[in-house]
Amino acid sequence: MAVARRPRWLRPQGSGFAVALLVSVIAGGTAGYALIEGWSAWDAFYMTVITVTTVGYREVHDLSRAGQVFTVVLLFFGVGAALYTFTLLATAVVEGGLPRRLQRRRHSRMLEAIKDHFIICGYGRIGGIVAKQFLRQAVPMVIIERNPDRVQAALDDGLLAIEADASREDVLKRAGIARARGLIAAVGTDAENVYTVLSARVLRPDLFIIGRAETEEATIKLTRAGADRVISPYQIGAVQIAQTALRPAVVDFVELATGSGNLELAMEEIGVAAGAPLAGRTLVDANLRQRFGVIVVAIQRADRRMEFNPAPDAAIHAGDKLVVLGRPESLKQLEAEASAR
């Protein structure tokens, strides 16, 4: 069934014309009283306003016959213009025109101010889960999605979202890619993900980029396009099922250690900054187990080489990442020790 559309002159977009019309009527009324009755500008303006708004106060001065005729004409035109203008302005507010404009301005200011955030391209099943994990850990993010329903869902979840094509460079710039911490390409198809990764890599050669792939061929193309990591949800899901079947206790432990909702135990990676107290020391010298109550599971070197279960005399260098297991408060203390001073 066709939906009846409101006439153009009753739509909120015509509110600018309505305001101009009302201002013109008031200006004309002021000029008319001043010319016909010889009143001052203020008296003429005041008489025009109380006439147009039908307030009903007494006349400023006694009117001549010509002034009375002019008042009748002004009532017909002025009251109609006032009702038309006030109706459109009220419609614009009720239908969300003004709140939406204010929300868009606030949205733009937040996009300009956000930094050290992740850009999530796509708010489907994968992107939505990633966003919820980031939200639980208070990680700032910006969503880029072409589907308006999904964009609205992201906004309803309290997220910053842009309705646009994530592969466009101007969209990535609007999302603050110059200040971003990383980008996750999880849009609908492998081809879109490849273009998104390629555009992001051109804009930010140093950006950490994760791409989602559905096929082996897409994995190769995403890597060539510049993705630092390529994740296949199907492969990870299959491996998880197999590991759960063969080693359920191990899987339970990993989920416990990596789950953001766990308050007793957490596994985290902590980068060692240049000039930090830990830089240049060995594990035994740093005495992390006794001082912080954490276990160093592995050390990822600056060249991305991973040393599992490192020896006590393993050196800690600036640029390394310590994969540690411990209580959240202990990990925060260790993170402070690994920061530059």
104 belongs to a structural domain? no
Quick one: pLDDT at residue 200? Answer: 95
**Residue 206 phi, psi (nearest 5):** -95, 5
247 belongs to a structural domain? no
Residue at token pair 């990442």: 321
Residue at token pair 């250690």: 257
**Distance between CA 119 and CA 114 in Å, rounded?**
11
Span 261-295, pLDDT tens digits? 655 677 888 999 888 888 889 998 988 888 888 88
On whether both 233 and 315 belong to a single domain, the answer is no
256 belongs to a structural domain? no
Question: And the tokens for 12?
Answer: 């909120």
Span 107-159, pLDDT tens digits? 888 888 899 999 999 999 899 999 998 988 889 999 999 999 999 999 888 89
**Distance between CA 50 and CA 25 in Å, rounded?**
13
On whether both 135 and 231 belong to a single domain, the answer is yes
Here the CATH number for the domain that contains residue 315 is: 3.30.70.1450
Here the CATH number for the domain that contains residue 122 is: 3.40.50.720
Range of the domain at 146: 114-237
User: Listing from the earlier edge strand, what are the strands of the sheet with 266-271?
Assistant: 266-271, 321-326, 295-300, 306-308
pLDDT of residue 197 exceeding 60: yes
Here the CATH number for the domain that contains residue 72 is: 1.10.287.70
258 belongs to a structural domain? no
272 belongs to a structural domain? yes
pTM as predicted: 0.63
**Distance between CA 219 and CA 230 in Å, rounded?**
6
Whose CA is closest to 299, among 290, 291, 286? 286
Split at pLDDT 50, 70, 90, the class of 303 is: confident
* CB 296, CB 269: distance < 8 Å: no
Total domains in the fold of the chain = 3
On whether both 118 and 232 belong to a single domain, the answer is yes
Span 207-233, pLDDT tens digits? 999 999 988 899 999 999 999 999 998
244 belongs to a structural domain? no
250 belongs to a structural domain? no
